[in-house]
Amino acid sequence: MRFHVVLRYVGFVLLCNALFLLIAATISALRSESSLFPLLYSALVCALFGVFPAIFVPASKYITNNEGLIIVVASWLLSCCAGTLPYILWGGEFSLTNAWFESVSGYTTTGSTILTNIEALPLGLLFWRSATHWIGGMGIILFVLSVLPSAGIAGMVLYRSELSPLARENFRHNARSALKTLLTVYVGLTALEVAALLFCGMNLFDAVTHSFATIATGGFSPKNASVAFYQSPVIETVIILFMVLSGIHFALLFATVFERSKSLWKSTVVRYYIGVLLLGIAIMTIDIHGSQFQAWPAALRYAAF
């Protein structure tokens, strides 16, 4: 096991986290928020631990499967550790346990929270909280491999280690092409949802953070009442649409949009997926109609969401 090689790739992951921490710190700086220095310190720590292996450890185009697995596991664990830093440094409701829970919940796109008053957090910290969803939804290693100029055989090993066997089987591409497909669809869906939510009346910050949560199939919101805060069936419909799209295999979406393929409509999995969703919505609508909502449209709206 070559630990210096592991450190090099984990360092790139920490640099990726540092970039998003810096964006969050910029938001705090523009608003003169109390989270500015916690975010800056966290970004500095991640950058320092990330840049030194990148500078002093020589690149290696060949890594073993065991090294690939260690890199993936270490990247997830250290990212979750890095995610706790701004929470702990800022304070508030964040004890060490609470900060760790919130960080892990973000990166794993679980969406659970320990916070009782989400809106008490500064916007910079709320952005970082939502960004952990977006980073984790794509996959930390996949994010890094997408921006590395060339990782050679090492990139293929990491790609296989990070992606599930079922997902790999559905990509008829090499690792680099598959990463391009994933990133294109992931960023594209996010941008489209942001634009749609802006059109529906959300402000830019809320549109971005809710899009991060939706496309990552997470659930973090900058509002205590989540999407219910807006009391808008149109906003809910947009989010429902992108919820459904984000649950479909990205390779099928990419082929449908960019290659004019009909694979999406021919896919048995997609038809089953949509069918189960519609069946679940129908059952839930019938269940809550009368007991909680007297009108059928209201029951359908809440059941679908």
- Whether residue 203 is contained in a domain is answered as no
Q: What was the pLDDT predicted at 171?
A: 46
Q: What was the pLDDT predicted at 185?
A: 87
pLDDT averaged per 10 residues in sequence order, the chain, 305 residues? 78 91 97 95 94 79 74 88 96 94 94 93 97 86 53 48 48 60 87 97 96 93 94 95 90 78 80 94 94 91 93
- In SS3 terms, the chain reads as CCHHHHHHHHHHHHHHHHHHHHHHHHHHHHCCCCCHHHHHHHHHHHHHHHHHHHHHCCCCCCCCHHHHHHHHHHHHHHHHHHHHHHHHHHCCCCCHHHHHHHHHHHHCCCCCCCCCCHHHCCHHHHHHHHHHHHHHHHCHHHHHHHHCCCCHHHHHHHHHHHCCHHHHHCCCCCHHHHHHHHHHHHHHHHHHHHHHHHHCCCCHHHHHHHHHHHHCCCCCCCCCCHHHHHCCHHHHHHHHHHHHHHCCCHHHHHHHHHCCCCHHHHCHHHHHHHHHHHHHHHHHHHHHECCCECCHHHHHHHHHC
Q: What was the pLDDT predicted at 153?
A: 45
- Whether residue 236 is contained in a domain is answered as no
- Whether residue 267 is contained in a domain is answered as no
Query: What's the domain range around 60?
Result: 3-171
- Whether residue 197 is contained in a domain is answered as no
pTM: 0.86
Q: What was the pLDDT predicted at 166?
A: 44
- Whether residue 117 is contained in a domain is answered as yes
Into how many domains does the chain fold? Answer: 1
- Whether residue 101 is contained in a domain is answered as yes
- Whether residue 150 is contained in a domain is answered as yes
- Whether residue 12 is contained in a domain is answered as yes
